[in-house]
Amino acid sequence: MKIALISDVHANLPALEAALSDVRAEGVDATVFLGDAATLGPCPRETLGLIQSLNCPCILGNHDEAMLEPARAAELQIGEPLLPSLEWSVSQLSATDVDFLRSFRPTRQLDFDSTSTILCYHASPLSNTDILLATTPEETVDKYFESQSAAILAGGHTHIQMLRKRGRQVIVNPGSVGNAFEKPYTPGSPAPTLLPWAEYAILRAERGVWSVDLRRVPFDTEATRRLIAQSGNPSAAEWLRQYR
């Protein structure tokens, strides 16, 4: 059994295509999308359509929720400089696209093998804006996962790949397909440097043994830059600066 975890695509179609090409080459049995599909990058509608074609479980990220309720952008931690890009991204979607976004769920629990389950969320099971890093204090992590019994806890949001133990559980962050950060980002900090690869993860189970593979797949960053420059996205210049 192989399950691919993808997250935080942010409308970067070339990066998603590269990641999914690798997913197909690995022969995975299922894919799970952990949120933040179609904001900010150059190809909102095309990216959302490709995710929909996967026919996979989809988790509601904070950016997905902000697309559905733009008035709540600040509450969902979408900074003011990103609002024009958020509004532009929303304007690119059809009614059918919005209906697909409305099908995203805050959490999903899935069977992995005969003895293990996966709890899927965006940032934590409590909120799609929580921050969970390798350095997050244990008491905060315990608050996020109180009463959760799944063997594998899978979420994204931080754009940083991570594998962390919590007792007998394992926390997996596959990183970001479309905007992999060089360093963790905190609000108010300078814009993060974006890395030239698409990040995702594969969970494998065979004969009672399971493992986690954190993957980095190169993608055509020049194609992304061209799409950004041609898109009409009001944040295009900022995105181009980040892909340095």
The residue among 123, 189, 118 whose CA lies nearest residue 148 is 118
Q: For residues 194 and 15, is the Cβ–Cβ distance under 8 A?
A: no
Which residue segments constitute the domains of the chain, with CATH numbers given? Answer: 2-106+176-242 (3.60.21.10)
Position 221 pLDDT exceeds 90? yes
Q: How far apart are CA 35 and CA 33, in angstroms?
A: 6
What's residue 244's pLDDT? Answer: 60
pTM of the model: 0.96
Model confidence at 73, pLDDT cuts 50, 70, 90, reads: very high
Q: Calculate mean pLDDT across residues 15-34.
A: 97
Q: Any idea what DSSP says for residue 201?
A: E
The residue among 215, 224, 240, 244 whose CA lies nearest residue 12 is 224
| Termini Cα distance of the chain | 38
Q: For residues 2 and 26, is the Cβ–Cβ distance under 8 A?
A: yes
DSSP code per residue over 78-129: --GGGHHHHHHHHHT--HHHHHHHHT-BS-EEEE-SSS-EEEE-SS-SS-TT
What's residue 198's pLDDT? Answer: 98
Q: Calculate mean pLDDT across residues 84-90.
A: 96
CA distances (Å), 9 to each of 12, 40, 173, 224, 242, in order?
6, 10, 14, 12, 16
CA distances (Å), 215 to each of 26, 29, 199, in order?
11, 17, 6
Model confidence at 195, pLDDT cuts 50, 70, 90, reads: very high
Q: How far apart are CA 39 and CA 87, in angstroms?
A: 9
Helix, coil or strand: residue 216: strand
Model confidence at 92, pLDDT cuts 50, 70, 90, reads: very high
